[in-house]
Amino acid sequence: MDLFDLAVDRSKNVPLAERMRAKTLSEFLGQEHIVSETGLLRRAIKLDRLGSCIFWGPPGCGKTTLANVIANGTDGAFVKLNAVNSGVADVKRVVDEARMNAKNFGKKTYLLLDECHRFNKTQSDSLLPAIEQGDIIFIGSTTENPYAAMTPAIVSRCRVFELKRLSEQNIISALKRAVSDKDRGLGNYDLTVTEEALNHIARASAGDLRVAYNALELAALTTAPDGNGKITVTLSDAEESIQQKALSFDENLYYDILSAFCKSLRGSDANAALYYMQRLIKGGCDPLLLARRLVVHSAEDVGLADPNALVVATNALVAYQNLGLPEGLIPLSEAVIYVAEAEKSN
């Protein structure tokens, strides 16, 4: 195999999630609240009248895909940047090219900025004149609440569209399409995926289509074919490929769940407190933060009504510091139950 063959084969290494990305609105799944037949966004895209906007939503819900659909549906220039590795110089270059395109060819320029919440004030300010004067049509994509994470000057000049997590049925439909699609999906394999496997992947992906595609591709490529060359992905294969539900959360949801944990302790609901503790830990929260909050509640909310609550909470904190995961969760959980059930001091 020579270098030219390697270049041709590179497309085979593109992940399934990227290959199956929708190219038109008819292929786009979910987000019916903004892309329905009568929705504002669909009408604006069809008429090529979309102004600057920001797509905000959790990972894998279709933000970048929707931006690509817009790119495919317009006759204007389309430039894509990532806020993580782009700076003022990149923005200036895009704006200069956009002005030249408008002057020489009468073409609009769309700028898609992934992770747009990562742009600082200086970088954002470099975009403002171009957005105001219509030199570019800005399309931001972010997993963070733009009203809190972005500069108000940018947000005020854009229409914000909030995208939701995809439903399990949306994800099942997408997976079935990937199994049968011979051009972009896995249709060239003699592949069968059981309903139980599809349902498990859809449920465990927690609304993230990228996670679901990755799990399906891994299961299909690692499952051994039978004597006739047929590949059958079963529930056990799906469980191995995805393993556990993705429980990531953005900053707003993190503080909401932390607040729910604290209120459950105050409200003497031990079951709820244990649930929210596990939800936070599974999502990446440091258990020591919860242990410290528990110590505060034992002194502040329980107080002298049951002085032993402070002893139990501080001992659980020390126990976790010495044991770590997973054993340290046992004394921590016991302390959560004790503090939740203890009489509260007013």
Q: Is residue 1 part of a domain?
A: no
Q: What is the rounded distance in angstroms from the CA atom of residue 267 to the CA atom of residue 286?
A: 23
Q: Are residues 48 and 150 in the same domain?
A: yes
More confident residue, 214 or 25: 214
Q: What is the rounded distance in angstroms from the CA atom of residue 281 to the CA atom of residue 293?
A: 14
Q: Is residue 26 part of a domain?
A: no
- Name the domain count of the chain: 3
Query: What average pLDDT is seen over the chain?
Result: 85
DSSP assignment string, 139-152: EEEESS-HHHHS-H
Q: Is residue 8 part of a domain?
A: no
Structure tokens at 338: 């004790």
- Domain of residue 197, residue span: 168-242
- For the chain, the C-alpha Rg in angstroms (whole number) is 25
Provide the pLDDT for residue 175. Answer: 94
Q: Are residues 80 and 147 in the same domain?
A: yes
Q: Which of 242, 263, 279 is the last residue of a domain?
A: 242
Q: Are residues 147 and 62 in the same domain?
A: yes
Q: Is residue 10 part of a domain?
A: no
Q: What is the rounded distance in angstroms from the CA atom of residue 119 to the CA atom of residue 87?
A: 8
Q: Among 39-43, 210-214, 266-270, whose mean pLDDT is lowest?
A: 39-43
pTM for this one? 0.67
Say if residues 42 and 66 touch (Cβ distance below 8 Å).
Answer: no
More confident residue, 249 or 101: 101
Q: Is residue 103 part of a domain?
A: yes
Q: Which of 137, 162, 187 is the last residue of a domain?
A: 162
Q: Which of 242, 270, 296 is the last residue of a domain?
A: 242
pLDDT tens sequence across 299-314: 999 999 999 999 999 9
Provide the pLDDT for residue 246. Answer: 45
pLDDT tens sequence across 242-251: 865 445 566 6
Q: Are residues 214 and 260 in the same domain?
A: no
Q: Return the percent helix, strand and coil in the chain, to nearest 5.
A: 60, 10, 35
Say if residues 141 and 114 touch (Cβ distance below 8 Å).
Answer: yes
Diameter of the chain measured on Cα atoms: 79
Say if residues 79 and 112 touch (Cβ distance below 8 Å).
Answer: yes
- 10 Å Cβ neighbour count for 1? 7
Q: Are residues 261 and 235 in the same domain?
A: no
Provide the pLDDT for residue 12. Answer: 62
Residue with tokens 């510091």: 321
What is the enclosing helix (H) or strand (E) of 132? helix 121-133
Q: What is the CATH number of the domain that holds 311?
A: 1.20.272.10
The count of residues in the chain is 346
pLDDT tens sequence across 34-63: 888 877 888 887 777 778 899 988 888 888
Mean pLDDT of 15-24: 88
Q: What is the CATH number of the domain that holds 222?
A: 1.10.8.60
pLDDT tens sequence across 125-156: 888 888 888 888 899 998 888 888 888 889 99
- 10 Å Cβ neighbour count for 119? 26
pLDDT range class, residue 7, cuts 50, 70, 90: very low
pLDDT range class, residue 1, cuts 50, 70, 90: very low
Q: Are residues 183 and 277 in the same domain?
A: no
Provide the pLDDT for residue 250. Answer: 62
DSSP assignment string, 301-317: IIGGG-THHHHHHHHHH
- What distances in angstroms separate CA 342 from CA 70, 228, 316, 317, one per listed residue? 57, 64, 16, 18
